[in-house]
Amino acid sequence: MHADRVNGTAPSTAQIQAGVIVDELIRCGVREAVLCPGSRNAPLAIALHRADADRRIRLHVRIDERSAAYLALGMAAGSHTVVPVVTTSGTAVANLVPGVLEASYAGVPLMVISANRPGEMQGTGASQTIVQPDIFGLAVRSAMVLAQADHRYPPGGDRLAQHNARWRATVGRLTAAALGLRDSNPGPVHLDVPFAEPLVGPRAWETPPGRRDGGPWTVVEPTIIDAPVEVDLGLDTLVVAGQGAPVLPELAGVPTVAEPSAPPTDCTVHPLVIRQLHPEQVIVVGRPTLHRSVVQLLASPTIRVIVVAPERSWTDVAGTASAVGRSIRATGRPAQAWVDVCRVATCIAFSAVHRALDETDQVTGMHVARAITRQLGVGDTFVVGSSNPVRDVSMTWEHTTGVRVVSNRGVAGIDGLVSMSVGVALAGDRTVALLGDLTFAHDSGGLLVGPSEPVPRDLSIVVANDNGGGIFGLLEQGGPQYADVFERVFGTPHGTDIAMLCAAHGVPHIAAGVADLGEVLGSGAESVGGLRVIEVRTDRDGLRALHADIRSGIERDLFDDSVTAVDDQKGSDGPVRIA
């Protein structure tokens, strides 16, 4: 017999199917899974719980599907492995859309497994029934619907063996697509599983076997695709590196504007000096999205733009790219004069930033970002929130250490960042997250972790709380002509008591000043383990003026030093252009 019978009753075929799905996921390397409670996905819930009890997988249960998607996203981003999020039918699936979109544009191997009603229930007015196949559209790398399990498998028949093979092959196909094994284009995938009643039966049943060696049903070998583009580094070259940028040893030593989530560089260029530098050539690596100065630079018709993109698509917003490749074949070497001037300009920029921060009486998000990054060490993971935090880090930190940075730059929203921070921390050791107050409040439900659920070893979420959307004050709508409408519709003050919010979730809360962050986060600080929230009160009213002071300070210092810098570097490598 293919299944145990209890009291003469055959087990639910839905449970047999769910057992096969979970078993094959584990065989394909899945070690973490996120589950949202429901009725239609009960067979999967039971199978996952049993796998967790057998220590074959680590299960995380969340009641909010949007939070669950970002938790899985964080674990997948932290571990570079497939992490499934499992839901019931109906709007539960739709709530995953933001997380799926982020995974799609960030290239993170997230897997959605949605339980569904049988096909004949569609269009009948059945409860919790929507059209789920293709609900994520082009955002997923692959979407498949499993054949519904037969209501009864004849003992000794071959029908179950046929279904077992197809179910396992489908799981393997989707896992390979999520990892990008065939096309170097990882991202989210969707498996929709129609379950017919009875959803659950006797507790004991036998899962049809997989491969005897314990491995996946289908072994998918990764396809290595390379298409190098030739680059002459003898030209004055500026690299712009964004989310998803690979490490390219050929570009070591080339001046680089690296966003915080890009790999660290040994020749950093501060984003505020881009307008003063005049490169002949720009190499775009990954997907840069942070700085307007970069956008304007890439739109210049006089600069040769080369894009390096390992995935199928590439970044070329202005349509100026002259060549695209998966890697580079470098010729020539950077002129030392060009490298030196970029270093001088960057040194001037960082000095201007730190001087402005030291001289102001305000406490801003930039102060918090600077204080945190000074406490990070090799092996730490740093989760940086969208909006101002990631820009504050970019302005104040020269990322040259062995700190791993994770940031949701796929679609750059503030969604789900508490949950994602927890997911990232579950995949590693010490993790520090920097979030704005709106970002924190938007996903405060991510603090809701049941008493039986795994918790991070060491996660500190630092909230820079300026009671609203400080970034809008730096944009056009932050100008004085919009002062009458700004505060309500852009500033959006909320007055949330973050300490009470944390208390409601049973999460430790620390109120700290910028000067306290060294003691709280420093190498000598005692690790409390688990999850804690550190709130730092900041100001946003003077942000626009502070940024203006920084820019004017950089321009003044560059003008004063540019003649000397150029004169010192002329000669062996030719003239240098700056300011």
Domains, in order of start, for the chain: 13-194 (3.40.50.970), 228-345 (3.40.50.1220), 363-541 (3.40.50.970)
Q: Which residue has the tokens 């190499």?
A: 283
Handedness of CA 175, 176, 181, 182 (dihedral sign): negative
Burial of 205 (0-12, 13-18, 19+ CB in 10 A): buried
Q: What is the pLDDT of residue 570?
A: 36
Q: Which residues of the chain have pLDDT under 50?
A: 1-8, 563-579
Q: Which tens digit of pLDDT belongs to each residue from 73-126? A: 999 998 999 999 999 999 999 999 999 999 999 999 999 999 998 878 778 888
Which tokens go with 380?
């730490």
Q: What is the pLDDT of residue 562?
A: 52
Residue 321 burial (CB count, 10 A): 18
Strands 142-145 and 110-116: unpaired
What are the helix (H) ranges across 274-360? 292-298, 336-359
Planar angle of CA 574, 575, 579, nearest 5 degrees: 155
* Contact of 550 with 367, CB cutoff 8 Å: no
Q: Which backbone phi and psi does 10 adopt, to 5 degrees?
A: -70, 145
Q: Which tens digit of pLDDT belongs to each residue from 312-353? A: 788 999 999 999 999 999 999 999 999 999 999 999 999 999
DSSP state at residue 476: G
Residue 400 burial (CB count, 10 A): 12
Reported as type and span, the H/E element at residue 197 is none
Distance CA 534, CA 514 (A): 11
Handedness of CA 307, 308, 314, 317 (dihedral sign): negative
DSSP string over 255-270: -EEE-TTSPP-SSB--
DSSP state at residue 286: S
Planar angle of CA 159, 160, 165, nearest 5 degrees: 100
What type of residue sits at position 232? D
Q: What is the pLDDT of residue 358?
A: 96
What are the helix (H) ranges across 60-200? 65-79, 91-94, 97-106, 159-179
Q: What is the pLDDT of residue 528?
A: 63
Q: Which backbone phi and psi does 88 adopt, to 5 degrees?
A: -85, -170
Which tokens go with 82?
């497939």
* Contact of 174 with 111, CB cutoff 8 Å: yes
Burial of 227 (0-12, 13-18, 19+ CB in 10 A): exposed
What are the helix (H) ranges across 374-505? 388-396, 417-426, 437-442, 483-486, 498-505
Q: What is the pLDDT of residue 3?
A: 40
DSSP state at residue 12: P
Q: What is the pLDDT of residue 129?
A: 82
3-class secondary-structure state, position 56: coil
Which tokens go with 329?
């074949």
